[in-house]
Amino acid sequence: MKINRVISSIIEFIRGLSVTFWHLFVPSVTLQYPRQRWTVSDRYRGLERLAVDEEGRERCVGCCLCAQMCPSNAIKIVTGEGKDYNKEVISFEIDIARCLFCGLCVEACPKNALSMTGEYELACYNRAGMIYTKEGLYKSPDVTRYKK
Amino acid sequence: MITLTIDNKKVVVEDGATILAACEMAGSKVPTLCHEKKLLSFGACRICLVEVEGTRTKFTPSCTTPATDGMVVKTMTEALIKARRTILELLLISHPLDCPVCDKAGECSLQDLVYEYGVSGNRFKGIKFTLPVDHISPLIERDLNRCILCGKCVRICDELQGVSEISFVNRGMRTKIGTDFDRPLDCEFCGQCISVCPVGALTSKLFKYKARLWELENIPTICPYCSNGCTLILGIKDNQIKTITSHDDIGINEGNLCAKGRFGYEFVANPLRLKKPLVKRDGKFEEVDWDEALGLVVTKFNEIKTDSGANSIGALGSARLTNEEIYLFQHLIRQGLGTNNIDHGGGYSYQGLIGLKESLDYPASTNSIHEIRETKAILLLRADLNETHPNIKIEVNLAINRHQARLIVADNKRIKLSANVASNLIYKPGTELTLINGLINLLIKNDLINKDFIKEKTTGFDKLLSCVKKYTPEYVEGICEVNPQDLELAARVYAEAEKACIIVTCGMGLCGNNRDIALAASNLALLTGNIGKESSGVYILPEKNNSQGALDMGAVPGFLPGYMPVDKPGYSAFQMLEAGKLKGMFIVGENPVMTYPLPDVQKALESLEFLVVQDMFMTPTAELADVILPVGSFAEKEGTYANLGKRVQKLKKALLCHGETKSDLEIFIDLCQRMGCEITTDNNPLTSFIKEESNPLTSFIKGEFAGEDKPWKNNNWKGKFIPVESDEIKTDRDELLLVSTGSHLYSGSLSAWSPHLLEVKGEACVEVNYKDAKKIGLDAGDPVKISSKNASIKLKARLSDNIPEGVAVVETHPLLNVMVLFGQKMMPIKGKIGKE
Ligand code: SF4
Ligand code: SF4
Ligand code: SF4
Ligand code: SF4
Ligand code: SF4
Ligand code: FES
């Protein structure tokens, strides 16, 4: 009995080695981050951004539907009366630490103002840095997914 | 009773009910846009179509069609859905569809219906409205592009408010809701039109773009302004009141609010509110912590008490505190300091209620508010309800418009309600008692009195008889300047109605004869047997939200809580403010420097050794204090207010404390403990001591007086006739009779700190007749100097037809003390007006 068990463990060992050996000839998938960067798919859901229209005006009208939709309560919007009695978005904040990148806010936006980018490098040194304000959101990189 | 079938369900409804009401009973939801329960049916929108079997027309509007016996109704068929969808599409042709920025989104009936009926495109094409948006009117913004012409705003303004400020203008496609000549709104700014508008055409400027409706937490609480006790629904977001709304089914106001209730909440978030206790050192206020401030209060008061005796300390409370707070405050003063020197409201704002107690043994309005609408005759005695109690005015309008009640207005000027009266008695200011005695004389002469009632239920009729003998119509005409025919008509209208009520307002700033007027009114009611009946009686409308409670809880020198007698009455408010009488004072929530008719209040307060003021703001009175204790507003505390029908209603805490403020109750509890006077409470003194069964107060704080609690339900009860008379005031040719109006819509201690309300109120004014103005050479808006024997002040002139010749009406204003003109008695006074 004992000898049988020794033989079978040796066989398993060789089988394991053969898998390792085989992988020497398969192309690697590990990226050498940060020296190498990943090109994300068009449908990737990274950091949100706010868009301006053709004339450079903010598209967001402060309807707060995105904030209402967000399942993790990550969006905070303060609005008020601005110039010419129009609605003005006084502040727009997304707390990335809470965001789960579900994209529901983008779905909700009636003005095509909010979209998701391919930006995934979101680490920072403190929690405050996780809160993206209006300025940051209007500056964030080009969209990867932009519904028209 | 009518039986009909709705969606295969049998329901029984009352005669005259509409199909819509029946559908509601059957639980079938029928969409509506122009229907409003509290208004008459209109039938403008046609969205409430239903199918009725066996009728010639295909569809029937349910909100205007009465139900008939045996009707078979269907509320949701394919054809109906298609028809309703078409109606919505038609409405959307010219609608701007700017829901993302519309402040009504989320509670908009049109939005809800469009979503429910799945209208995603529009088969019709047409132009969108491009009407200019009204940004100029104060408080209310009108974007008529969103209007669906349901007419609710027009109807509520007309039927309930009686203002008729807005109406349909133009015809056909160009119909819109507007004012005459498209001027900005100049009305009561009650905002009732906003509350019924199903879409975002009428919105509140205070709420404009502040938040979205679905983000708000809605907390019902009680209005801090007048004694009607309306329920406000605070819309809270981020610990701030964003808006105030109402609900038709919550509270006694049935969803109606006035300008103060709806728009007067800005004082809560006013940046000038005090945040920390202040102590004056070397003439300057320094912020200290609570322990130090309260410690100082106790040591100082104890010092004064040992040095000069407890009677050299006095206290002024306020009718704006909750019942619990007032109870504890008088407990603190009576037990802790050991004096009966406690008063509020200048010592006479509550005298009207005391008058009723003397004659009817019941210190409150005899009937409940909603009974007014079913009465048959109303006598408004010195009651300019539009200004003082706007929601009681709604009851009066309902009585006139829906129940054919006849109205008699007795006032010293033409008031807004004078427009649809049976008899208008404009008397010379200050002669109310003569007028009522004249009415009584006429009733007796014409045998219009209820003899059985007088014999069985009253005492003192003989005294009254001999007193009113000389008040013949001619004599009354000589004094009151009231036409005998009008008087006769008024006597008939009042006495011949099967149920009739008298409404009197009282409070600071009105003529000081509150008690006598109440007695006169109750004489009149007793004479005609109008006490102890439904929809009749005497309504004494006090001024502030808890005026009733302040008296019930004994914040007066002459009574303990529950009207228990006191051994030795303390000083009244006016006596306390005589210079040199007191050494220390504790003033809570009142501002005597600005509101009392005494010229020397400031000097008296300055002469005190120690003054504590407890307030939300740095008022002129607070500036004289040694210690200022900052307190929380109505939205930051719990407790109860008693309204003028003696209904005790609960406040709800909606906001966190402002800065380091405490509620008045917490301060009183702390002070009671420091002074070592016992509080008989359960474990949680903040809310429960008033519920305690053993407490003698329970009988009148158990909510609105149950029917059997009213004294006249008792067979032995007898009402007392107490005759009252007054002296005549004579004016010379070149003099005017000055009279004050009482609290105007926006003149109060709270609205002063609400900027949008002040915007409506504008500057302090004195109103005079055109003819008098011509004599003096005044133009509208001229600055004038008014002087009486007591003082002289500067105001702006306003000219008006509503004021009789020879009279000048001085409006109260939050930023100016006009009461000083009148002196302690607060009666109309001779004075001069000159151009500045
Ligand atoms: S992506 Fe999802 S979780 Fe993130 S902000 Fe939008 S709705 Fe919220
Ligand atoms: S949903 Fe779009 S328009 Fe509305 S607040 Fe969010 S980003 Fe702005
Ligand atoms: S605010 Fe009141 S008075 Fe003015 S238009 Fe609206 S309903 Fe009428
Ligand atoms: S403004 Fe509002 S309430 Fe008035 S008619 Fe238009 S939709 Fe109706
Ligand atoms: S009527 Fe009186 S209680 Fe009602 S909202 Fe107006 S001020 Fe407040
Ligand atoms: S709700 Fe019936 S016609 Fe408008």
User: Is pLDDT at B160 greater than 80 in this prediction?
Assistant: yes
Are B2 and B12 contacting, i.e. CB atoms less than 8 angstroms apart? yes
**H or E stretch including B488?**
helix B484-496
User: Is pLDDT at B701 greater than 50 in this prediction?
Assistant: no
Ligand in nearest proximity to the CA of B156: 3
Closest among B602, B835, B829 to B735, alpha carbons compared: B829
> Same domain, yes or no, for B455 and B559?
no
**Gyration radius from chain B CA atoms:** 28
Look at residue B739 in the predicted model and tell me its pLDDT.
Answer: 82
| Region B704-721 average pLDDT | 74
Cβ-Cβ contacts under 8 Å, A110 against chain B: 99-100
Contacting residues for B9 by C-beta, under 8 A, at least 6 apart: B26, B27, B28
> Same domain, yes or no, for B157 and B263?
yes
Domain contains B564: yes
Look at residue B388 in the predicted model and tell me its pLDDT.
Answer: 87
Ligand in nearest proximity to the CA of B545: 5
Token pair for residue B141? Answer: 């913004």
> Same domain, yes or no, for B754 and B638?
no
Are B321 and B590 contacting, i.e. CB atoms less than 8 angstroms apart? no
Average pLDDT score over chain B: 89
- In this prediction the pTM is 0.90
Helix, coil or strand: residue B793: strand
Look at residue A147 in the predicted model and tell me its pLDDT.
Answer: 40
Look at residue A89 in the predicted model and tell me its pLDDT.
Answer: 95
Lowest mean pLDDT among A7-11, B694-698, B715-719: B694-698
Provide φ and ψ at B59, rounded to 5°: -120, 155
Strands B719-720 and B648-651: unpaired
Whether residue A34 has a cis bond before it, omega within 30° of 0: yes
The Cα–Cα gap between B474 and B271 comes to: 58
Residues of chain B with pLDDT > 90: what percent? 64
Domain boundary among B664, B696, B728: B696
Ligand 4, CB cutoff 6 Å, lining residues: B 147-153, 177, 196-199, 201-202
Residue B478's CATH number = 3.40.228.10
Residue B727: pLDDT band by 50, 70, 90 thresholds?
confident
Are B377 and B408 contacting, i.e. CB atoms less than 8 angstroms apart? yes
More confident residue, A39 or B8: B8
Ligand 3, CB cutoff 6 Å, lining residues: B 140, 156-157, 161, 163, 165-166, 185, 187-193
C-alpha count within 13 angstroms, C-beta hemisphere, residue B617: 16
A-B C-beta contacts closer than 8 Å: 33
- Inter-helix orientation angle B484-496/B473-480, to 10°: 110
Number of structural domains found in chain B: 5
The Cα–Cα gap between B155 and B158 comes to: 5
Domain contains B637: yes
Rounded alpha-carbon distances, angstroms, from residue B74 to B62, B81, B770: 11, 12, 63
| Region B101-118 average pLDDT | 95
Look at residue B696 in the predicted model and tell me its pLDDT.
Answer: 41
CA of residue A121 to ligand 1 center, whole Å: 17
Cβ-Cβ contacts under 8 Å, B101 against chain A: 61-63, 86-87
The Cα–Cα gap between B746 and B767 comes to: 16
Alpha helices in A24-146 (DSSP H): 65-69, 104-108, 134-139
Domain boundary among B245, B269, B293: B269
Domain contains B87: no
The Cα–Cα gap between B674 and B297 comes to: 10
Rounded alpha-carbon distances, angstroms, from residue B638 to A4, B642, B655, B657: 83, 14, 11, 12
Q: How far apart are the first and last CA of chain A?
A: 71
Look at residue A141 in the predicted model and tell me its pLDDT.
Answer: 60
Strand partners, A145: A116
Look at residue B708 in the predicted model and tell me its pLDDT.
Answer: 43
Domain contains B327: yes
Cβ-Cβ contacts under 8 Å, B214 against chain A: 68
Give the tens place of pLDDT for each residue, B197-238.
999 999 999 999 999 999 999 999 999 998 999 999 999 999
> Same domain, yes or no, for B355 and B458?
yes
Residue B733: pLDDT band by 50, 70, 90 thresholds?
low
Are B260 and B748 contacting, i.e. CB atoms less than 8 angstroms apart? yes
CA-proximal residue: ligand 2, atom 6 (nearest) = A66
* Contact between chains at B208 and A88 (C-beta distance less than 8 A): no
> Same domain, yes or no, for B599 and B481?
no
Are B812 and B509 contacting, i.e. CB atoms less than 8 angstroms apart? yes
C-alpha count within 13 angstroms, C-beta hemisphere, residue B251: 25
Give the tens place of pLDDT for each residue, B541-585.
998 899 998 998 889 999 888 788 888 999 999 999 988 889 999
C-alpha count within 13 angstroms, C-beta hemisphere, residue B159: 19
Give the tens place of pLDDT for each residue, B747-796.
566 777 888 888 887 777 888 999 988 988 888 888 999 988 888 889 88
Domains of chain A: 48-138 (3.30.70.3270)
The angle subtended at Cα B297 by Cα B296 and Cα B301, nearest 5°, is 115
> Same domain, yes or no, for B608 and B669?
yes
Q: How many other C-beta atoms can be found within 10 angstroms of the C-beta atom of residue B808?
A: 26
* Contact between chains at A68 and B215 (C-beta distance less than 8 A): yes
Residue B616's CATH number = 3.40.50.740
The Cα–Cα gap between A42 and A145 comes to: 6
How buried is residue B83: exposed, middle or buried, by Cβ count under 10 Å (0-12/13-18/19+)? middle
| Region B439-458 average pLDDT | 94
> Same domain, yes or no, for B244 and B286?
no
> Same domain, yes or no, for B451 and B576?
no
Nearest chain A residue to B136 by CA distance is: A85
Look at residue B758 in the predicted model and tell me its pLDDT.
Answer: 80
Domain contains B820: yes
Rounded alpha-carbon distances, angstroms, from residue B382 to B375, B390, B418, B453, B522: 19, 14, 12, 27, 14
CA of residue A94 to ligand 1 center, whole Å: 8
Ligand in nearest proximity to the CA of B87: 6
Q: Is A127 on the interface with B (CB under 8 A)?
A: no
Closest among B113, B773, B712 to B457, alpha carbons compared: B712
Question: Between the ranges A41-45, A54-58, A114-118, B47-51, where is the mean pLDDT highest?
Answer: B47-51
User: Is pLDDT at B425 greater than 80 in this prediction?
Assistant: yes
User: Is pLDDT at B709 greater than 80 in this prediction?
Assistant: no
- Segments forming the whole domain that contains residue B177: 125-269
Give one word for B376, left, alpha or beta, with left for phi > 0 and alpha for psi -120 to 50.
Answer: alpha
Residue B51: pLDDT band by 50, 70, 90 thresholds?
very high
Look at residue B680 in the predicted model and tell me its pLDDT.
Answer: 60
Overall residue count recorded for chain A in this entry = 148
Residue B693: pLDDT band by 50, 70, 90 thresholds?
very low
Are A52 and A138 contacting, i.e. CB atoms less than 8 angstroms apart? yes
Give the tens place of pLDDT for each residue, B606-620.
999 999 999 999 999
| Region B799-825 average pLDDT | 85
CA of residue A98 to ligand 1 center, whole Å: 8
> Same domain, yes or no, for B621 and B559?
yes
Closest among B785, B759, B765, B803 to B136, alpha carbons compared: B759
Which DSSP string corresponds to B62-96?
TTTSBP-TT-EEES--HHHHHHHHHHHHHHHSS--
Average pLDDT score over chain A: 88
> Same domain, yes or no, for B563 and B463?
no
Give the tens place of pLDDT for each residue, B506-548.
888 788 888 999 999 999 999 999 998 999 999 999 988 999 9
Residue B127: pLDDT band by 50, 70, 90 thresholds?
confident
Residue A92: pLDDT band by 50, 70, 90 thresholds?
very high
Residue B282 identity: D
Nearest chain B residue to A65 by CA distance is: B100
Closest among A93, A66, A65 to A78, alpha carbons compared: A93
Domain contains B411: yes
C-alpha count within 13 angstroms, C-beta hemisphere, residue B257: 31
> Same domain, yes or no, for B438 and B510?
yes
Lowest mean pLDDT among B47-61, B320-334, B536-550, B698-712: B698-712
Least CB-CB distance to B212: which of A64, A86, A111? A64
Nearest ligand 2 atom to the CA of A65 is 1
Strands B2-6 and B72-74: parallel
Nearest ligand 2 atom to the CA of A50 is 7
Least CB-CB distance to B101: which of A63, A68, A80? A63
ipTM score here?
Answer: 0.83
Alpha helices in B202-345 (DSSP H): 259-263, 290-308, 323-331
How buried is residue B367: exposed, middle or buried, by Cβ count under 10 Å (0-12/13-18/19+)? buried
User: Is pLDDT at B718 greater than 70 in this prediction?
Assistant: yes
How buried is residue A139: exposed, middle or buried, by Cβ count under 10 Å (0-12/13-18/19+)? exposed
> Same domain, yes or no, for B211 and B339?
no
Domain boundary among B525, B541, B557: B541
User: Is pLDDT at B684 greater than 80 in this prediction?
Assistant: no
Least CB-CB distance to A111: which of B100, B135, B209? B100
* Contact between chains at B214 and A80 (C-beta distance less than 8 A): no
Domain contains B111: no
Give the tens place of pLDDT for each residue, B265-316.
999 999 999 999 999 999 999 999 999 999 999 999 999 999 999 999 999 9
The Cα–Cα gap between B351 and B348 comes to: 5
Look at residue B743 in the predicted model and tell me its pLDDT.
Answer: 57
Are B743 and B388 contacting, i.e. CB atoms less than 8 angstroms apart? yes
Give the tens place of pLDDT for each residue, A94-120.
999 999 999 999 999 999 999 998 888
Q: How many other C-beta atoms can be found within 10 angstroms of the C-beta atom of residue A119?
A: 16
The single-letter DSSP state of residue B798 is: E
Domain contains B455: yes
Residue B204's CATH number = 3.30.70.20
